[in-house]
């Protein structure tokens, strides 16, 4: 079960137009500053924010109450010259939480509000995240131009996005060659299938660190810890895909049998 909050900049288009033609640098700075502020306000409460099209954001907000959301919204609107709406929902299927949150927002049909479609009777049985990176991208950069590498990363993102949509998950690009997948409780299976699809279509390998926790931050920390372990021992394991969760022993990752 995961709780998702969608944060949208309301009346954003009309506000950006008010900045005049020489505005794009200002818009980019506002978007970066808003992301930093939202990440700070949610992460101190155990949440985790992902940028979606830069003018919209998704937050894993388990454990963050309606009153906490209201406090965050109030602080945001004292810092930025545009309105923010929030839509909250939860589901065992991350994509469904997104769809329910969207429906709640459309039902209210009013900007600058907080709408919710949260099942209060559900139990937080853990958030499941996959932290995925592309293997060997540092070596690729020595022989491949920066823009060519970007095209490869974007192609990887497309495969991840389509897989996530078809399997009711959510996938986000988080910079460099890194992606985060908000998964259900079948993270190992999804990791293997995604890695297989990426290799089939792009002939590149990926590594997947899997994390679970009661909050977005805890799950992300565990996923990153497991990905870091893969990076640490990669020279001892030439087989792919390399997938590690907290239930897999290091010997299992390395293919060492007792």
Task: Provide the 3-class DSSP secondary structure of residue 82.
Answer: coil
* CATH number assigned to the domain comprising residue 28: 3.30.70.1230
Q: Is residue 73 part of a domain?
A: yes
Residue 30 resides in a domain:
yes
| Structural domain that includes position 171 | 127-254
The β-bridge relationship of strands 127-134 and 114-117 is unpaired
In this structure, are 111 and 146 located in the same domain?
no
142 & 242 share domain: yes
Same domain, 147 and 87: no
Which segments in the chain show pLDDT lower than 70?
237-240, 249-258
Which pLDDT does position 256 carry in this prediction? 46
191-198: long-range contacts, CB 8 A cutoff, minimum separation 24: 191/130, 191/132, 191/241, 191/243, 192/241, 192/243, 193/163, 194/130, 194/132, 194/159, 194/160, 194/163, 195/240, 195/241, 195/243, 196/241, 197/159, 197/163, 198/156, 198/159, 198/160
Q: How far apart are the two ends of the chain, measured CA to CA in Å?
A: 36
Do residue 176 and residue 212 come from a single domain?
yes
Residues 153 and 225 occupy one common structural domain? yes
Q: Give the count of domains, the chain.
A: 2
pLDDT given for residue 110 in this prediction: 84
Q: pLDDT at position 250, please?
A: 61
Verify that 249 and 178 share a domain, yes or no.
Answer: yes
Compute the distance between CA of residue 45 and CA of residue 57 in angstroms, rounded to an integer. Answer: 17
Q: DSSP letter at 93?
A: S
Q: Are residues 101 and 160 in the same domain?
A: no
Q: How many helices (H) and strands (E) does the chain have?
A: 9, 10
d(CA 54, CA 78): 20
User: What pLDDT score was predicted for residue 237?
Assistant: 64
């Amino acid at each position: 079960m995961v709780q998702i909050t969608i944060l949208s900049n309301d009346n954003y288009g009309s506000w950006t137009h008010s900045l005049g033609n020489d505005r794009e640098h200002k818009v980019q700075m506002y978007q970066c500053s808003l992301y930093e502020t939202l990440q700070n306000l949610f992460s101190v409460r155990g949440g985790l924010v992902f940028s979606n099209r830069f003018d919209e954001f998704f937050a894993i907000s388990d454990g963050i109450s309606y009153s906490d959301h209201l406090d965050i919204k109030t602080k945001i609107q004292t810092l930025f010259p545009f309105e923010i709406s929030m839509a909250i929902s939860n589901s065992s299927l991350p994509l469904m939480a997104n769809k329910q949150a969207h429906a709640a927002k459309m039902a209210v049909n009013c900007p600058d509000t907080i709408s919710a479609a949260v099942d209060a009777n559900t139990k937080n049985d853990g958030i499941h995240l996959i932290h995925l990176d592309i293997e060997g991208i540092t070596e690729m950069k020595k022989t491949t131009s920066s823009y060519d590498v970007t095209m490869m990363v974007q192609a990887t993102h497309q495969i991840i996005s389509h897989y996530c949509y078809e399997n009711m998950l959510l996938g986000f690009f988080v910079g460099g060659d890194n992606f985060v997948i908000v998964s259900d409780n079948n993270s190992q299976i999804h990791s293997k299938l995604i890695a297989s699809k990426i290799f089939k279509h792009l002939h590149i390998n990926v590594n997947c660190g899997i994390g679970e926790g009661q909050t977005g931050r805890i799950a992300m920390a565990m996923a990153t810890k497991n990905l870091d372990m893969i990076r640490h021992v990669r020279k001892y394991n030439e087989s792919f895909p390399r997938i590690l969760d907290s239930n897999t022993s290091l010997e299992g990752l390395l293919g060492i049998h007792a």
